[in-house]
Structure 1
Amino acid sequence: MPATPTDRRPTAGRVPATDRPHRGRASTALVWGAAVAQPFLFLLAARTGPYRSTELRLFLTAVAVGLTLPLARRNPLAALGLLLAGLFAAATTRPDGALLYLPVLAADALVGRIAALRPPRILLPTALGALVVQIGAATYTTSGQDVFVSTVVALALALLTAGLLGRSVRERRDHAAELRAATAAEAVAAERLRIARELHDVVAHSIGVIAIQAGVGRRVIDTQPAEARNALATIETTSRETLAGLRRTLGALRGATADGRPAPRDPAPGLADLERLAASTADAGVRVELRHLGNPDLALPPEVDLAAYRIVQESLTNVVRHAAVPVCRVTVERRTDTLLVEIADEGRGAPPGADTRGGYGLVGMRERAALLGGSLTAGPRPGGGFHVTALLPLPAGLPEGTPAP
């Protein structure tokens, strides 16, 4: 028979929600009751006659101080007030001075805790009030002006030390929180830049090819239907590749699908895909001359392989958009400790006096090179045209024939 709401019973070991407020109030009442009883127990310990042992009085004093510990965690100001009240009341009975050491140290510890939790506008009057009460108690337990003065100095130094230690703890905690916030903000900014670079590199080249092919198709659709069909086929292929790249980027950002399984990720592009990139650039009207120098079997770290591909891709996009040239050269040289990537054309280049630091594309290329500890230069060539040169460092001892881990 299915259970109804009236049939349900609280699970063993679990407190019903309706009982939790009552338990919370009972716990608070117990904590406050123990703290309020502290001054009376302390006074009892101080008034215990000389026929009682010193060990018993010290034990009762320790118990009295211990009664304030639960309240000290919740409300250190109230705990300090009750502790000082018990200290002064016991001091008026002129007990043995050794009985006051533990309460004084406990009061100093509470001042240090207040310094770690509260602002100076609360700490300063609290510490001053505690010092006044302690000095008042010292008038009942000291004899002689020299002893009294030395006692006051010791009490002031102890309170000052406790306050400074508490402030130091507060400053370290605040500094650690600021560092965590700054680290989180820096990580967010770095991730935003990485996403911006990936989206720019994935989309910019393909959109340039699509725009050019769409213009070609529009102009020849009536006179050269076959050429228009070829343009549409190129647009379709480029669009599919762009969509796959966007899915890969978004999948990497998402990390997992809605059902908790890892998101599917296609292999990231690399220098092995330069032939395909050159073919798509040729469809946009610019023939690419590829040259591979150095050791062709030298494996590359994945991050270097991807960065080199993106640098070539962005450079070819700029050639298609701005150079107005039918051909450009791409050189990839695998050296022992460096990967050289160079893209050069003989087009219009940049006008004299122009800022060659460029827009987001050149900025993204420089960021990719800098993240790997390399460098990138871009600017007009002396004989006309434009060139981009990237030097990406390679770790020592790379294997041959297989991708680096």
Structure 2
Amino acid sequence: MKPVNIGICGLGTVGSGTFNVLQRNCTEICARAGHDIRVTHVGARRDNPACDLNGVVVERDVMAVARAPEVDVIVELIGGCDIAKDLVMLAIENGKHVVTANKALIALHGNEIFAAAQAKSVSVHFEAAVAGGIPIIKAIREGLAANKIEWLAGIINGTGNFIMTEMRDKGRAFDDVLKEAQELGYAEADPTFDVEGIDACHKLVILASLAFGIPLQFEKAYTEGISDIAPADVKYAEELGYRIKHLGIARRTDAGIELRVHPTLIPAKRLIANVDGVMNAVLVSGDAVGPTLYYGAGAGAEPTASSVVADIVDVARSMDVVNDEQRVPALAFHPGQVDVDDVLPIDQVHTAYYMRMSAMDEPGVVSKVAQILSDAGVNIEAMIQKEPAEGVKQVDLIILTNVVVESALQTAVKSIETLSAITGTVHSIRVESLG
């Protein structure tokens, strides 16, 4: 078999992890691929002392790796979208297969990239772009190929999950835990992508594209972060038998596709509710198999390298196909797979809700709140009304609602906030059973 020559572009955490896993497990990897897999080129601005680059061509210009005629597969691990996109498009133009761990690149530019790859009869693989070492892309595309995927929900950002776990286990405030996450290296100096859900949203749109056969539509997804979650919300959720997780949720409905990232109350008995710390998990429900759960490390050098190398093996196997036209590129979507591919606006989504409000301890408040909810078509499933402490005139009123369209709930919230007995804003968090 012809050796498969690899060019790794980017020698940071994941790049060095990939290089070292390929070197360390070379015998097993090559046997599984049916080819001798060799890293012949590396594109990086500087060397990484963790990697022995003897015998490897090192280029400071990553584009030179994409042009090298002897390289068969470009592994893009530099991150970002500008240089990375140029590199991937150049590699495709030069007839090279691409493996990437870049979720933002795929979520924002995947449609264009896949079209270019199909035109050149090369493939683009991106297992490591979602949930690190968890092989969720292969599970959806291959293991669940017989199923009509009904919905999926995932803890797909380890930073957010670490923060929510610490808030629950130790009663800490968001800002306090975020500072520790930054000190531990879980969160960046600017944590916006993690705590506001942008990182998770990149991953969610990729999963939804695969699950439902729709184009990548990041701009239509709803994103909400966890910075407004208070310790009180975490405590009350526990009292009600729930836990708060920052979830990415995609669901197929008759009206369209739900595509949303936000804090969510889920029953504490669910397995995914017990995924803690920086770990990731994705729950996928198919019509034939039912709910299936995929759990593991969502980041890190070697967990992510595990997925990168698995894609390299897939590419090597595909190179045995004699007729290029028979090689199916790893498209994220297949037009025509679903009848409805519209992404629903968040105000058209149906879900249950948790509500927390500060109310004056006086007669008639609860009945007024209940009447407003009833007028909006919102039924109350459960309620907690705390006794006020001595000398305190305000109490927390906690309500769980039935499933209702978001627009109705938000209308009710605005009306409740106008009541003189309600102080401040009404805090609402969506609730999902995931059953």
Structure 1 or 2: larger helix share?
1
The interval holding the TM-score normalised by the smaller chain is under 0.3
Structure 1 or 2: larger strand share?
2
User: What TM-score do you get using the length of structure 2 for normalisation?
Assistant: 0.21
User: What TM-score do you get using the length of structure 1 for normalisation?
Assistant: 0.22
Structure with bigger RCO (C-alpha 8 Å, 6+ apart): 2
